[in-house]
Structure formats: C-alpha cells, structure tokens
Amino acid sequence: MRLGNAMNMTIEEVKQWFISSFKHVRSTPQRFFSQSLGLQAKLALAIALFPIIISAVWYAQYLSSEQQKMHQSYVINHNLIIEFSSIKESISALEKAQQNNTLLDSPALQNSINKKWKATRKRITLLKNRLMENVLVAQWQQVLTLLPTYDAHLVNYSALSHQLQATEKLFHHALATRLDGQRASFADKNYGLLGLLLALVTLFIVFSLMLIHRVTRQLYTLEQTIFQLGNGKHVRHIELKGSNELEKLGQRLNWLNEALQSSHAQKDSFLRHVTHELKTPLASLSEGNSLLKDLSIGQLTAQQNRIVEIMSGSVQRLDTLIDDLLSYSAASHPLNTQKRKSLAAIATDLQKHFSEHTLGINKKLIWHISKNTAYMPYLPCKIILIQLINNALQYAAHRIRIDIDSNDHVATFAIYDDGMGIDANELSNITQPFFRGQHSHSHRGSGLGLSIVAESVKQLHGNIEFKPLSPGTQVCVVMPIRGKQ
C-alpha cells in the first residue's frame, strides 16, 4: 500500500516537473525578446558564436594533433626504411663473415657470427611485426622459412638476400599505401569538420536573419501605429510587444495619442464656440446694415451711405473669414472620419453650387468631367475645388476651365483662368496662411483660400502645382486614389 502511494507520488512529481519544464521552455523566447535590443543582440551573438568558437578551437587542436601524427608517421616510415636497409647490410656482412669462417674454422668467430645472426633474426621478426600489411604477409612467411633459429652456418644467405630484395619493393609500397591512407583519413575528417563549421555559420546566419526579421516586424508595427496617429486615426490603446524599448515606446505613444485626441477635441470645441459667438453678433450687424440700406429709418446722406457701404464690406469680409476658418479646420480633419463620393457626384454638386452663386457674374465656367467611378473623400475634394474656382473667379478676365479626371491610380483637378497670372517670385509663398500677392490687394479675401487648398491636398497625400500662363494661371492637383467607397 505504501509502495503504491509512493509510486503515485513519484509519477505526479515527474508529471509536474515535465509541465513546469515545458512552460519554462515555451516562455523562453518570449522572455528573450522582452529584453532590450542591445541585450538581445549580445545574447544572440553569444549563443550563435559560442559553438563556432568552441568548434574552431577544437578544430585547431585537432589539426595540430593530426599534423603531429602525420609527422610521426613520416618518421616511423623513415626509420623502417633505414631498419630494412640495415638488415640487408647485416645479412650481407654475416654472409661474408660466414664464408671467411668456413676457411678459418674458428669456433670463437662462429660463436660471434651466431650471436649476430640471432640479433639479426630478431630484428627481422620485429620489422615484420611492425608492418603486417596484407601485401607483405606471403613475403614475410617466405622470409621466415629461410631463418634458422641459432646456427648461422645453416642460413642460405643467397636465397635470403634474394627474398629480401623481392620483399623490398612491396615493403616500400606498403609504407606508401599506409601513409596515403592516413592522408585520406585526415582529409575526410577535415572536410567533415569544415562542413560542421559551415553548418554552424549557416545556423548563425539563419538565427541572425530571424532576429532581424523579429526586430523589423516590431519596427513595422511601430511604423503602422505612427502612420495611424499621423492620419488622425484614434487608437484606443497602443500596445507594442517585444523589446523593453519598444514597450516603453508604446507607452509614450499612448500618451501622445491621448494628447493629440485632447488637442483635436479642444480645437474643435474652440472653433465651434468662437464661430457661434461670432456668427450671432455678425448676423445682427448684417441685419442692421440691411435695414439701413433699405432706408427703413429714413433717407441717408451721401456720407452716411459711404459708411454703410464700408460696414457692408467689413461684415462680408468677416463672414468670409469665419467660413474660411471653418473650412481650414474641416480640411485638417482625419480622412477616416469623412465620407466618400464618386468624382462624378462631387462635380455635379459643384456645378449646381456655382450655377447658383455665379448669377450676374460675366465670367464663364467651362467644365470638362471624365466619366469615372473613382471615389474620393467628399469634403476635402469639394473644399479644394470651391477654393480654387473662387480664387479663379476673382482674377479671371472672361472664363475659367475646370478639368476633373482620374485613372486607376490618381485623380487630377486642373483649373485654368485667363487673368493676370501669378508672379514667379510669389510661387514659394502663395500657399502660406494670410499671404496676399501684389495683384490681390484689390480683391477681397481672407488670405486663407490657397492655404486651405494646400492643407486639403496634404490630407489626401497629393501634390499641388501652380504654372503661370500667358495670360492666366494653371493650378494642377494630383491625388492618389485609395479605396473605392
């Protein structure tokens, strides 16, 4: 019973250990990428380079060891060759000594020859044991059959010398073969180790690319978030996951997002309040001025009529300025908060608008509208065209031409007039708020019209170009088409 309980507890502990280990391993990448970018780079470099450095050091040691072995092999082969030559010389010397002793018949000399023979026979046996290659087995057996154990006078020196001579060629061949085998083995191991180093370097490159991809993906997320903020799109909560710096940057962007939203709200509230406060007394002034013109309080003198005309002009200019300020504010609104219409529908609205507001003006509007279904933000496009056409109406002599065109990628507005044109020196400042050129002082206006156009074009990610003509001016606006409805 106790044994069963102990086993159950052990199994449960092992299970818990595996679960905790799995969770730890699973959370390791997340914990790694939550570090700072500098620490990530250092850790990645250490993780990737450590096996490469270890392998390189081990390979250098292995290369040194193999070179020592090759050197030893050369030395051993050289010693074996010298030993083989020395044995041949010893046998030749023994043969001569035995021939001399045959004539002298000296027991002492024979005893010395026998001792030298025993030493030579032992050297041959040791040499055979040091080089037991397959090609030499048969040759060594034949040599051993010619080696009596003790008596040197029983040796057939001529046959032994002949057999050693026949063995010598195979002996050198066996040494060369063994050396070539060692070289080939070293080369194979060398290629294998180089392949391992190449694999580690490849792994290092792959790991680096993965880290770079992870960082660039984080930067892309940051870019998208900043792009949304730049377009005025309200982001409820910005949460950038990844490195420590990126998370802190997300917190700063949250603060910036809230500050921008608060600033936009305050600006809109201020404009609404100011507009309401200005429009009410302005309407009263306009109504009172109209009563004076209608002679409701009696006949006016010439001086009084002059004052009434000045008041009417001032009231109209103030009303235009307020409307332009509202248009300027509307032009800076985020595109995502504005509805979209086809260019054909926008052009139809504008034709209706100017047909009502240009009655009694001896200037002709010529419309060239292509048949297209491109959809654009309604309010910015309407503001651009109204401001440009109003501006052209002030300066044109007889006619204004309006071209509205588009293709699959861009929409184009082109306004031509036959007026006095624009001084080339004024082109760089013409879109600045409240800037008035040398020809504009005789015309009424707030000085905000082209600034409103430039702001609206900027919101649409387009560009505007002014070209002086002879006579007149061409204004061309090109904007990318994004989305259909």
Alpha carbon separation from 315 to 278, 320, 321, 444, 470 (Å, rounded): 11, 9, 10, 12, 35
Are 98 and 173 within one domain? yes
For residue 189, the SS3 value is helix
Are 407 and 375 within one domain? yes
Take residue 292 and report the two structure tokens written for it.
């004076």
Are 291 and 401 within one domain? no
Alpha carbon separation from 57 to 202, 381, 444 (Å, rounded): 18, 70, 85
Residue 414: the pLDDT is 92
Q: What's the CATH number where 166 sits?
A: 1.20.120
Residue 162: the pLDDT is 86
Distance separating alpha carbons of residues 324 and 446, to the nearest angstrom = 7
Are 288 and 397 within one domain? no
Q: What's the CATH number where 297 sits?
A: 1.10.287.130
Take residue 152 and report the two structure tokens written for it.
């040197």
Q: How far from each other are the two terminal CA atoms of the chain, in whole angstroms?
A: 76
Domain that holds residue 171: 59-198
Are 479 and 344 within one domain? yes
Instruction: Report H helices in 105-156.
Output: 107-130, 134-145
CB 140 within 8 Å of CB 127: no
Q: What's the CATH number where 375 sits?
A: 3.30.565.10
Q: DSSP class of residue 461?
A: T
Distance separating alpha carbons of residues 376 and 393, to the nearest angstrom = 25
Distance separating alpha carbons of residues 192 and 185, to the nearest angstrom = 11
Query: Which candidate, 78, 83, 165, places its Cα nearest to that of 122?
Result: 83
Are 367 and 482 within one domain? yes
Residue 328: the pLDDT is 63
User: Among the three residues 331, 353, 377, which one is the final residue of a domain in this structure?
Assistant: 331
Q: Quick check: is 417 in a domain?
A: yes
Are 138 and 245 within one domain? no
For 288-317, the pLDDT digits (tens) are 777 777 766 677 777 877 887 888 877 777
- In single-letter form, the type of residue at position 48 comes to A
Distance separating alpha carbons of residues 124 and 102, to the nearest angstrom = 25
**Which strands make up the sheet holding 399-406, listed edge to edge?**
364-369, 399-406, 410-417, 473-480, 463-468
For residue 422, the SS3 value is coil
Q: Quick check: is 98 in a domain?
A: yes
Instruction: Report H helices in 231-301.
Output: 244-293
Instruction: Please name every residue paired with 365 in a beta bridge, in sequence order, or none if there are none.
Output: 400
Measured from the Cβ of residue 460, the count of other Cβ atoms closer than 10 Å reads 21
Residue 442: the pLDDT is 52
| Domains of the chain: total | 4
For 372-394, the pLDDT digits (tens) are 668 888 888 888 888 888 888 88
Distance separating alpha carbons of residues 250 and 256, to the nearest angstrom = 10
pLDDT < 50 stretches in the chain: 2-3, 6-7, 22, 24-27, 441
Are 266 and 385 within one domain? no
Are 172 and 254 within one domain? no
Measured from the Cβ of residue 420, the count of other Cβ atoms closer than 10 Å reads 17
Alpha-carbon torsion (389, 390, 394, 397), positive or negative: positive
- In single-letter form, the type of residue at position 361 comes to I
Instruction: Please name every residue paired with 218 in a beta bridge, in sequence order, or none if there are none.
Output: none
Are 193 and 109 within one domain? yes
Measured from the Cβ of residue 377, the count of other Cβ atoms closer than 10 Å reads 24
Are 368 and 444 within one domain? yes
Distance separating alpha carbons of residues 182 and 223, to the nearest angstrom = 60
Measured from the Cβ of residue 40, the count of other Cβ atoms closer than 10 Å reads 19
Are 313 and 354 within one domain? no
